[in-house]
A and B are shown apart, each in its own frame.
Chain A
């Protein structure tokens, strides 16, 4: 197979997406509750403006880029491990388990340090993801659709447990905000955890070939000498850490991990090494766009990005489902 056209294709997409992310970032820096834009930095520099920029706008934009990119990659890896295109962390219980972890932290030790909270949330989302993969293993995979179905219900059950606990400890309002992520509260000093997510994403990119092999199934992986069990466990850890960090910082951000990999797949196919950079960039772009839309729609109020992501994500999901229905039925 001649791969050079695909490569050219990929490179032009890389450039286009980088530009898109850049443009969206600039817009994101310029939009907010107070009237300030980057031009003021040069025309009428004053402390208040630089302060606003570096304490609020810049951290927020950066957080969006990091979270979007890492969540999209987490979705891609999860899809490889579940060997299914229709799943993503919020649809299999990973996100809900992380939220449960954060909730327990708030119940047991309300003032817990961010890093500790992150640790607890990671532990919970690892458990949630493993639970999903275990249930999946017990089901003979006859239909590709049973996979997201099982995931959604598992997520729903974990969600119900959280709801019950939150109700008992009068934390329903807080749980609701964890379940619908947004970046309005992101300030300097409150987003740096996302660098961890970004680091993990890079690690995943480095291991891209192996995850492609995992996506071909256990027998195939073993045949080419990849430690399936070990790598799957590692993948679960990577996905869980990414998800946990975003849940702790911003709350649940659904469907990025579903929309982006499925769109990028149309461009590059299933080779992860080629796909991961595009997935990361497109994830950032989507996250920035969702956040921007949330900020301008009912200005000066904000709509959580999670709300916008969930609407666009479920629409994309429905389209995939309906377009592919001959194949699923």
Chain B
């Protein structure tokens, strides 16, 4: 079961474009010495690559697990959940005077809390009889709204005078990547993506639906829990690095399906990552060097994703 010629061509083109974007990002308009460029641009590039990987993989896997192509972890409020955990954690760190803990350790604790909450919510949702897709999306969107407002409230109560400064981090920004978390993020992404790629065949089976998957011998609850764990970690990393991205994952996953024309995860998983790299790194190159425009890339991508969502909804409902 290989890829059809069209898929092969498009996927190779995307890979080429991704490569060009990366090279362009590192070499265009270089004005200072290489050491500095490597450090400055290299770390930003690494950050963007990590975001591309996390969002692409997390969304494709999530859509497989939930058997749909509209729902994404971000729409279900996973990233805002991390913001909430992070805000609450700030409260705790502040009170405990334990800010001398290394930032990596604090991040790991936050991610663990986030994973625990996400799994709990997921169990509540999926072991109950909520199977309707629309209920899930709505629960997620309104839950996301609730988390966001709670995070807001926590920040205001935590430090009302500095609220406006803190709030800046509530919107994704690729020019302000949290570089302190790059290395721990790299480790997390490495582990999770290895795991997910290892599960590619099980994922293919899962996409046939719960009953068929169980019939074919997949330990359903165990597998789903493991996958959701990986998704929670990936989303935490992405959100910690650049902030919440509502529609980016949706855009990447659907690009991946369209590019490959395949249902097989050994193709769609890498395709989503490549598409993400082209959009993020390539978009940054175009905006920064070719257009020299200050337009925030994150917002433009989000806008495109939002429009795509409406289109999908209109098309999906019509069937």
What residues of chain A have their CB less than 8 Å away from a CB belonging to chain B?
A: 86, 135, 138-140, 142-143, 145-146, 148-150, 152-154, 156-157, 160-161, 163-164, 167-168, 173, 176, 297-298, 301, 303, 307-308, 310-311, 314-315, 317-318, 321-322, 325-326, 328-329
- Complex Cα spacing A176 to B148, Å: 14
New A-B pairs, 12, CB < 8 Å, besides A139-B314, A143-B134, A310-B145: A142-B317, A149-B313, A154-B310, A160-B302, A160-B306, A297-B157, A301-B156, A307-B149, A314-B146, A314-B149, A315-B146, A328-B135
Known: A145-B135, A321-B139, A329-B130. A314 touches B157 (CB 8 A): no
A164 touches B299 (CB 8 A): yes
Q: Is B303 part of the binding interface, using a Cβ–Cβ cutoff of 8 Å?
A: yes
A160 touches B299 (CB 8 A): yes
A153 touches B146 (CB 8 A): no
B303 touches A160 (CB 8 A): yes
Known: A140-B317, A307-B152. A329 touches B303 (CB 8 A): no
A-B contact pairs, 20 of them (CB 8 A): A135-B310, A139-B314, A143-B134, A145-B134, A149-B137, A150-B310, A157-B307, A161-B303, A164-B296, A164-B299, A167-B295, A173-B164, A307-B149, A310-B146, A311-B153, A318-B142, A318-B143, A321-B139, A325-B130, A329-B130
B317 touches A153 (CB 8 A): no
Known: A164-B300, A164-B303. A298 touches B313 (CB 8 A): no
Q: How many B residues, CB 8 Å from partner?
A: 42
Interface string of B285-319 (1 = CB under 8 A from A): 00000000011100110110011011001100110
Known: A307-B156, A318-B142, A325-B135. A153 touches B129 (CB 8 A): no
The listed residue (B138, B295, B302, B310) touching A321 by CB distance below 8 A is B138
- Complex Cα spacing A146 to B166, Å: 35
Chain A interface mostly? helix
The listed residue (A157, A298, A301) touching B310 by CB distance below 8 A is A157
- Complex Cα spacing A164 to B287, Å: 14
B299 touches A329 (CB 8 A): no
- Complex Cα spacing A154 to B307, Å: 9
Q: Which residues of B contact A168 (CB under 8 A)?
A: 294-295
Q: Is B150 part of the binding interface, using a Cβ–Cβ cutoff of 8 Å?
A: yes
Interface string of B133-171 (1 = CB under 8 A from A): 011011101110110011011001100110010010001
B314 touches A314 (CB 8 A): no
A156 touches B306 (CB 8 A): yes
Nearest Cβ on chain B to A149's Cβ, whole angstroms: 6
Which of B131, B138, B157 neighbours the largest number of chain A CB atoms within 10 Å of its CB?
B138
Q: Is B246 part of the binding interface, using a Cβ–Cβ cutoff of 8 Å?
A: yes
Known: A164-B295, A298-B156, A298-B160. A311 touches B306 (CB 8 A): no
B150 touches A311 (CB 8 A): yes
Nearest Cβ on chain A to B300's Cβ, whole angstroms: 7
Which of B141, B142, B306 neighbours the largest number of chain A CB atoms within 10 Å of its CB?
B142
B142 touches A317 (CB 8 A): yes
- Complex Cα spacing A322 to B138, Å: 11
